[in-house]
Amino acid sequence: MIAVRDIAYVRIQVEDLDAQEMFLQDFGLRPHARTATSLQMAAYNGGYPAYIAQQGSKKALGVGFQVGSFEELQLIAARFNSEVRGNAELGAGWIVTLHDPDGLQVDLLYGGDVVAPESVRPALLINNAEQRRRLGTTNRMQIQPSRVMRLGHVVLKTVNFQAMFNFYQHTLGFRVSDSYFAESRENTVATFMHCGLGAEFTDHHTVALINMGAQEPAFDHCAFEVLDWDDLACGSQFLTQQQYQHSWGIGRHVQGSQVFDYWLDPAGNKIEHWTDGDLVNDASPVTHEPLSLDGLAQWAPPLSPEFLA
C-alpha cells in the first residue's frame, strides 16, 4: 500500500473561466497558466498548481495527491494495471491516473512541483495576556486578498460512501481522524481522514467524505490555508468589499479546530479559507460523535441555510 503525503490540487469544471480566475485572485491565489479552455492557479508556497479548472458545465472532476517516491507510483500503477507517465500537463514529473469508486479522477504525483514559491510578510507575532513577545513594534494590516499558502483539504459528497472509504483508506493510505454519525452509531455521515504517515504529524483532514445521499459525486468544498488569523480576516473584508457571496464564518470548527471563513465562487461552489488547524498522527485519539449543527463550530455566526445544501 502507498501513503499519500499531501493533497496537491483540486480539478474542477466551470462555465466561466474568466470570472473564476478573477475570483480566485481576489480569494488569494496567483495565476500560473491559462489557455482558452483551462486555468491553473497557484498558492504562495508553490509546489503544484493548487487549483486546476477547465471550461464546461459545472462539476467536480478530480483531485491530485502527492506521493513520496517514484516507487510508490510504480506500485500503484502495477496494482491497477495502469502506467507511470511523464506529466505532460505540468511539463515535469510523473503521474499515475486512477478513478475512485465515484468516478472522480485521482492523479498521483511525484516530481513536477513546478511552481516557485513567492514570499509573503512574516506571520504576525501576537501578544496575549500571558506572553508578551512583540516589544516596541507595531502590527499594521492592509485590506487585501488573503495570501493562500497551500491547498489543505477537499470534502467529497460521496455516492458510494463505503467503497469510497475503502479506496481512500486501503488504496491511498488515509486514516480516520474523527467521524460523525446520525441516528445510530453505524450510520456514519462524515469521516475526516488524514494522510497515514505514522508518527509524522499532518493536517487533521486532507480528505473528508460525506455520506448524505448525494446523487452524483461533488465537492462539498475545497479549503485553502492562509498565512495567519489577520490574513484571513483582512481577506474576508476584501472579499466583502468586492461583493462576493459569503457563505459562513468567521468561526472556529470543532473537528480540526480551524478558524474558518467560507465563500461561494461565481459558479456557486463553496470554498474555504482556514488557519490554525490541528495536526494529528496515527496515534491521535479518534472520535465518533453524533452530528449536530452546534457541533460544526465552537463559535461562529449563525449557520447560513445554504451551507448544508
Per CB under 5 A, residues contacting Fe ion are 223, 272
Residue at grid coordinates 486514516: 175
Which CB, 95 or 207, lies closer to Fe ion? 207
CB 176 within 8 A of CB 121: no
**CB distance 97 to 82 below 8 Å:** yes
Nearer to Fe ion, 90 or 226 (CB): 226
Q: Which three cell numbers stand for residue 266?
A: 461565481
Q: Least CB distance from residue 209 to Fe ion, whole Å?
A: 13
**Least spacing, CB of residue 129 vs Fe ion, in Å:** 30
Beta carbon nearer to Fe ion, 96 or 210 = 210
Task: Give the span between the Cα atoms of 100 and 198, in whole angstroms.
Answer: 24
Residue among 220 and 231 whose Cβ is closer to Fe ion: 220
What minimum distance in Å lies between the beta carbon of 222 and Fe ion? 8
Q: Which of 216, 289, 221, 288 is nearest to 260 (CA)?
A: 221
Strand order in the sheet with 59-66: 30-34, 38-42, 51-55, 6-14, 59-66, 105-110, 94-99, 85-86
- 12 versus 77: smaller Cβ distance to Fe ion: 12
Which residue has cell 513594534?
137
Tell me how far, at minimum, the Cβ of 179 lies from Fe ion, in Å: 15
Smaller CB separation from Fe ion, 102 or 272: 272
> Three cell numbers at 78?
502495477
What residue number has its CB nearest to Fe ion?
Answer: 223
Is the preceding peptide bond at 76 cis, omega within 30 degrees of 0?
no
Alpha-carbon span 175 to 165, nearest angstrom = 10
As measured in angstroms, the least distance from the Cβ of 205 to Fe ion is 7
Beta bridge partners of 7: 65
User: If you ran DSSP here, which 8-state letter would residue 86 be given?
Assistant: E
Least separation in angstroms between CB 247 and Fe ion:
11
- Least spacing, CB of residue 276 vs Fe ion, in Å: 13
C-beta of 223 vs 234, nearer to Fe ion: 223
Nearest to 272 by CA among 49, 83, 10: 10
